[in-house]
Structure 1
């Protein structure tokens, strides 16, 4: 469910109250842990955290006029989603996340390649998502991203 909101605050304001709280808490923990250089924006109709063109002029290879995505959060129809390109592109981080998840939640992990889905809002491991957001610097993310492109 993509939003037409122009800002993260506007996006959150449009949500139902329970989703507003969950997305606000995710946003807060991400902003508290995200390394310097990443920028919060609206991207693909959700709140995104990207490497701005000022730091990576090439942008995203699929759509170069967009900045390089790193992490996004969204309120979908049946779940809250955290999209993280790092768990998709780095097997070590993926393994770390899967193993750590069991320490934070008794719920079964519902995860695709880059999408982590939370159907029950009270089962979102906010601290773990914050730690995931802190795992790489902008430069490290660019290096991982470029290494994946060369494959």
Structure 2
């Protein structure tokens, strides 16, 4: 689901009350842990954490007018999603996350290429998401992106 919002606060205000609390906590978890240099903004109709054009002028290969995306956070119809491009591009990071997840959550991991889905709000492993956010700097993401994703 995409919400029409110009700011992260506007995005959160549009959510159902039970989702607002969870998205706020995930947002603060990411902001408290993501390395310096990533910028928060609305990206693809959800909360986004991107590499700004000032650090990576080429922008996103699909649309160079957009900054390079890294993480996103969204309230979807049936779940809350954390999108992490680094998990998709770095097999070691993916393996680390898959191995760590059961230590933090009793439910089975529901994950796509870069999307981690949480259907049960009470089982979101905030500490693990915070640790995931620390795992890649802007410079590391740009290098990995250029090596594995940009064509």
Same fold (TM > 0.5): yes
Q: Secondary structure at the match of 1:81?
A: strand
Aligned runs of 1:54-133 on 2, under 5 Å? 54-133=54-133
2:2 is matched with 2
Gaps of 5+ in 1: none
Change (3 A) 1:134 1:63: same
Gaps of 5+ in 2: none
**CA distance in 2: counterparts of 1:142 and 1:32, whole angstroms:** 21
1:49 is matched with 49
Deviations 1:16-40 (A, max 9, x none): 1110000000000000001000000
Deviations 1:59-101 (A, max 9, x none): 0001110000000000000000001001101000000000000
Which contiguous aligned blocks of 4+ residues in structure 1 show a shift greater than 3 angstroms? none
Q: Kindly report the root-mean-square deviation, in angstroms, between the aligned alpha carbons of the 2 structures.
A: 0.9
Deviation at 1:149, TM superposition (A): 3.6
1:19 is matched with 19
**CA distance in 1: counterparts of 2:105 and 2:44, whole angstroms:** 28
Q: TM-score, normalised by structure 1?
A: 0.98
**CA distance in 2: counterparts of 1:89 and 1:137, whole angstroms:** 14
